[in-house]
Amino acid sequence: MTKSTVYFTDFHVPYGGRSLPEKLEFLLKKAGMETIDFKNKFVAIKMHFGEAGNLAYLRPNYAKVVVDLVKACGGKPFLTDCNTLYVGSRKEALEHLDTAYTNGFNPFCTGCHVIIADGLKGTDEAYLPVRGGELVKEAKVGRAIADADIIISLSHFKGHESAGFGGALKNIGMGGGSRAGKMEQHSNSKVKVNQEDCVGCGKCAGICAHDVPVIENGKSYIDAERCVGCGRCLGLCPTDAITPLEWGSVISLNKKMAEYTAAIVDGKPHFHISLIVDVSPYCDCHKENDIPIVPDIGMLASFDPVALDQACADLVNKAEPMPGSELYKNLQKDPEGTCGHDHFHNTTPKSEWKTCLAHAEKLGVGTREYELVRV
């Protein structure tokens, strides 16, 4: 496979020079985003709106640049994400929209609407085939993302406690999964009921196509042997009493993220943007964010999400650790590093990221071989 081209610009802005939004627009044009046929097409701009309380998420100003360029090319853009698996400020669409609007992702700031792709309770999903999938044969994807004609990922490149980092592949694969899709990626998909939290409402029994949940003595009971792992009961449980029976390994998580990404972009034009800024050690899904593990590096864009993630990872690994950061403190304790020169693993030693890129490459999503072009 030939090398993919990844375009890069740093965050330096000389006095009287281009602003950062102008630099991003220039980068996108140089990377060829305008060559996509956007005319009258629905364009899903997949991004993360940030958990309530988190301040490391991308500023909406960057989203507006992407929106304006899509509109200028005749497209119909919308910002989108799916509801979360865990309890927080984005587990259902109304709270999710409140959080997005509070953080500046609203039509007044970005120029387009926000659509929560998997609907009110995270159950509005489409089933997309995974060609060549080893662990997933059918991805459960937010319907608005599945219905879009074009996929654009706008990612905040940062650390992650399980996946090592969150970049384009995680933004699309994990982020594009419905609540049941997220559960499938994180676990073996079968569920259990925490009896203390269950109120016996019976909604899980009402949604189950296999009559697995049984209500006895005011509580729901789920037979793991009969559960098929569809995950639809998760979205309807009002007290979040239903949880995965067993969490999966980071290796299976990475493979499933790659397979979900492959299903979402399969057969559609797609383009990918990542900003290496405020590189917090953990995901923007956290309500808190620690100081960045490295200084701000730059903005990157490519038609290849695998090459883009690899380029971002390489740039971060070449950067000096930020004094006082989680990475810096870990390296002070272990100067040789727990896994060689790998800033992500040395920040969160239980994480792993290379499997996702290797598996996505195997599935034909892209290549890890790239040429970095500075603009």
pLDDT at 224 over 90: no
Q: How far apart are CA 219 and CA 231, in angstroms?
A: 19
Distance CA 101, CA 89 (A): 12
Higher pLDDT, 80 or 225: 80
Residues paired with 166 in a beta bridge: 158
pLDDT for position 163: 94
Percent of the chain at pLDDT above 70? 98
SS3 352: coil
pTM for the model stands at 0.89
The residues near 111 (Cβ < 8 Å, ≥ 6 apart) are 64, 67, 68, 71
pLDDT in tens, 104-116: 999 999 999 999 9
Q: What is the DSSP letter of 78?
A: E
The CA-atom distances, in angstroms, between 133 and each of 143, 170, 261, 321, 359 are 20, 17, 11, 37, 10
Angstrom distance (rounded) from CA 38 to CA 44: 11
For 173-193, the pLDDT digits (tens) are: 999 999 999 989 988 767 899
Query: CA–CA separation, 210 vs 230, rounded Å?
Result: 10
What confidence score (pLDDT) does residue 237 get? 87
List the one residue out of 181, 338, 348, 179 whose CA is nearest residue 253: 181
Q: Position of tokens 């590096």?
A: 297
